[in-house]
Amino acid sequence: MKRISTVSEMQEISINNKKSGKRIGFVPTMGFLHEGHLQLVKKAREHNDIVVLSIFVNPLQFGPNEDFEAYPRDIERDEMLAKEAGVDYLFYPSVEEMYKEKRTSVIQVVERSNVLCGVNRVGHFDGVATVVIKLFNIVLPDKAYFGMKDAQQVAVLEGVIEDYNIPVAIERVPTVREEDGLAKSSRNVYLTNEERAEAPVLYQALHLGKQLLLEGKTTNFVKNSIKEMIEKETTGHIEYIEVLTYPDLKSKSRNDKELIIALAVKFSKARLIDNIVFTF
């Protein structure tokens, strides 16, 4: 595995690999790798000749009161895990390398971003779209692999790819979970022991919501049932519970076939998100 820190070198390598007829699979991350990331690498390894993993904590997607400086970082550990997982190139640019000068244009996401996490994170998905478009132009992947734990991010990026005719196929990869159902996340390390014991209730509540929807219960009934379960069995503060279409992220109507139940719960030092996407 080779570690690369400059845009020019990464682009040159990708161009040469493409000229040789090799397919590139890409896994963009913000580092502090866990099993969820490694599952993305595994999928990329199965279907491509070359696997590129990027590690870049993107300042554009953090709000003024969010945890950019505190976001966990451990490049030596990440490099070891990436190598063991079969990554060919680790792209690890600095902020200065990715954003050298004042930009002359901006990317603004106008759909799929004003619900769920986007309500209280104004500009977040603009930052996500900006960095991912840049990474696609640097790495030149045939396929990019994203975990469905961040289902809104996947929906937004699918829309961006369609809008701008970007020749990259997004592969949705199911959420990787602990044995008790908790979605794996870099932020889980911030949970106290008590909160960690409570956290699996989020996934259990999502399953309850899915069951109730399939039984014909109303959206409001489902959301209230999920809310009651989480408030009864955890100390977390609910930020949102939503039932929407997927990937459009619109209010559910009678004829919708694919739905998402999504939630966000804030514990003392960790904000957890989770979801279920299913055919209705």
Please write the tens of the pLDDT for every residue from 131-155. Answer: 999 999 999 999 999 999 999 999 9
Spatial distance between the Cα atoms of 157 and 129, rounded to a whole number of angstroms: 7
Q: What is the pLDDT of residues 17-45, one digit of tens each?
A: 999 999 999 999 999 898 999 999 999 99
For residue 63, the tally of other CB atoms under 10 A from its CB is 13
How many residues are present in the chain? Answer: 280
- Both structure tokens of 50: 């070359």
Give the residues of the chain that fall short of pLDDT 70: none
Q: In terms of domains, do 167 and 241 share one?
A: no
Spatial distance between the Cα atoms of 219 and 228, rounded to a whole number of angstroms: 14
- Residue owning tokens 């300042």: 59
Query: What's CA 147's distance to the chain center, in Å?
Result: 6
One-letter identity of residue 165: N
Could you tell me if residue 55 is inside a domain?
yes
Spatial distance between the Cα atoms of 23 and 47, rounded to a whole number of angstroms: 8
The residue from 146, 173, 200 where one domain ends is 173
Q: In terms of domains, do 198 and 166 share one?
A: no
Residue numbers belonging to the annotated binding site for ATP? 30-37, 147-150, 176, 184-187
Kindly calculate the radius of gyration of the chain based on its CA atoms and give it in whole angstroms. 19
Q: In terms of domains, do 192 and 168 share one?
A: no
- Both structure tokens of 235: 């100390």
Q: In terms of domains, do 265 and 215 share one?
A: yes
With 0-12 CB in 10 A as exposed, 13-18 as middle and 19+ as buried, what is 124? buried
Q: In terms of domains, do 227 and 102 share one?
A: no
The residue from 117, 143, 173 where one domain ends is 173
Question: What stretches of the chain show up as alpha helix (H) in DSSP?
Answer: 7-19, 35-47, 75-85, 95-98, 124-139, 151-163, 193-198, 201-214, 219-233
pLDDT score, position 257: 85
pLDDT score, position 186: 76
Q: In terms of domains, do 163 and 231 share one?
A: no
With 0-12 CB in 10 A as exposed, 13-18 as middle and 19+ as buried, what is 68? middle
Q: Is 238 helix (H, G, I), strand (E, B) or coil?
A: strand
Q: In terms of domains, do 150 and 267 share one?
A: no
**Overall domain count for the chain:** 2
CATH number of the domain that residue 268 is part of: 3.30.1300.10
Q: Are 135 and 26 in contact (CB under 8 A)?
A: yes
Residue numbers belonging to the annotated binding site for (R)-pantoate? 61, 153
Could you tell me if residue 71 is inside a domain?
yes
Q: Are 123 and 117 in contact (CB under 8 A)?
A: no
- Both structure tokens of 160: 């961006």
Q: In terms of domains, do 45 and 146 share one?
A: yes
- Residue owning tokens 């595994």: 42
Q: Are 128 and 152 in contact (CB under 8 A)?
A: no
Q: In terms of domains, do 153 and 194 share one?
A: no
Could you tell me if residue 179 is inside a domain?
no
For residue 188, the tally of other CB atoms under 10 A from its CB is 16
Q: Closest by alpha carbon to 246, among 150, 155, 129?
A: 155
Could you tell me if residue 140 is inside a domain?
yes
Torsion on CA atoms 106, 169, 119, 103, rounded to nearest 10: -10
The domain containing residue 98 runs over which residues? 2-173
Could you tell me if residue 180 is inside a domain?
no
Could you tell me if residue 178 is inside a domain?
no
Q: In terms of domains, do 165 and 253 share one?
A: no
In sequence order, the 6+-apart residues with CB closer than 8 A to the CB of 42 are: 85, 86
Pairing of strands 89-91, 2-4: parallel
Residue numbers belonging to the annotated binding site? 30-37, 61, 147-150, 153, 176, 184-187
Q: Point out the residues that are catalytic.
A: 37
Answering whether pTM is above 0.95, one says no
Q: In terms of domains, do 40 and 156 share one?
A: yes
CATH number of the domain that residue 140 is part of: 3.40.50.620
Q: In terms of domains, do 220 and 154 share one?
A: no
Could you tell me if residue 97 is inside a domain?
yes
pLDDT score, position 100: 85
